[in-house]
Chains A and B, each alone.
Chain A
Amino acid sequence: MFFNMQLTYEIAGGDFGKAGYASSEIKKVLKKLNLDLRIIKKIAVALYEAEVNIVAHAYRGSLTVEIDTVKISVKAQDEGPGIADIDQAMTEGFSTASAQVREMGFGAGMGLPNIKKNADELNISSEVGKGTELEIITYLK
């Protein structure tokens, strides 16, 4: 396969009604490319969790997917409060979600661990008061 493509979706903070839309759209594109279904399923989980984290925790952001012949790279960037302690955020069960968000079934503190489990590589960089960037890499093998 010889291709190289990039897709970007803007994500609005706080808009739970649309949460999951960008992930679903990207998954549809990946299916059309006939990529390995196991890989698509893993990326769908990572995309969704990254998207919901922007909606739940940041002000605005974007999801960018880049596909080349060896890997799929997802970048989730946002303007938001940032993450002060990344190790703590990665701990299963840790969440700063509000009571209202928890009532909807978010805030289990499982999103970032889910991304880690479903990616070959996860790099997080964040600046408190500015924003967060996740880079999620999956090799096509």
Chain B
Amino acid sequence: MKVKDLTTQLKMQVKAGSDALSNEITGGYTSDLLSDVMGNAQEGHVWITMQAHKNIIAVASLKELAAIIVIGNHTPGEDTIAQANQEGIPLLSTPESAFDVSGKIYNMLHE
């Protein structure tokens, strides 16, 4: 499954990193704590979070995550978007909750 499948099947909006939508997704991690993600997410995971500030891009880049999905009404700012483009990290957004998004992606990965 690729990041692109999230945009087509779950209608997520691409905020940044559109050059890397062919990244392969191997799993996911849902958390709003940066050190938790640093310690427990794995390369190739999609990260589902309400954090939308610039530092999430460094975390995703250092961990080589496949994409970040910002959920709910949390909108990434211009600095976050610019950083994601620079680092080549797909940054997606959806109005859905972390629970719903995680469940849907889990099902897509396991069907």
Query: Quick check: A17 and B58 within 8 Å, CB to CB?
Result: no
The minimal Cβ–Cβ distance linking B70 to chain A, given in whole angstroms, is 12
**Given A17-B54, A48-B62: A105 and B33 within 8 A (CB)?**
yes
Query: Quick check: A49 and B58 within 8 Å, CB to CB?
Result: no
Which residues B1-57 have CB closer than 8 A to chain A? 32-36, 38-39, 43, 49, 51, 53-57
Interface membership of B79, Cβ < 8 A: yes
Name which residue of chain B comes closest to A22, CB basis.
B58
Interface membership of B59, Cβ < 8 A: yes
Query: Quick check: A110 and B39 within 8 Å, CB to CB?
Result: yes
Interface membership of B75, Cβ < 8 A: no
With the chains together, A20 CA to B35 CA distance in Å?
12
Query: Quick check: B58 and A105 within 8 Å, CB to CB?
Result: no
Residues of A within 8 A of B57 (CB): 20
Name which residue of chain B comes closest to A28, CB basis.
B61
Query: Quick check: B39 and A113 within 8 Å, CB to CB?
Result: yes
Interface membership of A126, Cβ < 8 A: no
Query: Quick check: B55 and A49 within 8 Å, CB to CB?
Result: no
Residues of A within 8 A of B64 (CB): 41
Chain A interface extent, by class: 20 to 34
Query: Which secondary structure characterizes the binding site on chain A?
Result: helix
With the chains together, A52 CA to B33 CA distance in Å?
13
Query: Which secondary structure characterizes the binding site on chain B?
Result: helix
Residues of B within 8 A of A20 (CB): 55, 57-59, 61-62
With the chains together, A24 CA to B43 CA distance in Å?
15
Interface membership of A67, Cβ < 8 A: no
**Given A48-B38, A49-B38: A104 and B53 within 8 A (CB)?**
yes
Most buried by B among A23, A44, A47, A104: A104
B interface, CB within 8 angstroms of A: 32-36, 38-39, 43, 49, 51, 53-59, 61-64, 79, 87
- Chosen A-B contacts, 19 in total, with CB atoms closer than 8 Å, are A16-B55, A17-B54, A21-B58, A27-B62, A41-B63, A45-B39, A48-B59, A49-B35, A52-B35, A104-B51, A105-B32, A105-B49, A105-B51, A105-B56, A108-B35, A108-B36, A110-B36, A114-B35, A117-B39
10 other A-B residue contacts (CB within 8 Å) besides A104-B55, A108-B34 = A19-B58, A20-B59, A20-B61, A47-B62, A48-B62, A104-B51, A105-B34, A105-B49, A110-B36, A110-B39
The 8 lowest CB-CB distance pairs between A and B, nearest first, are A20-B58, A110-B35, A108-B33, A114-B39, A44-B62, A105-B34, A105-B51, A108-B35
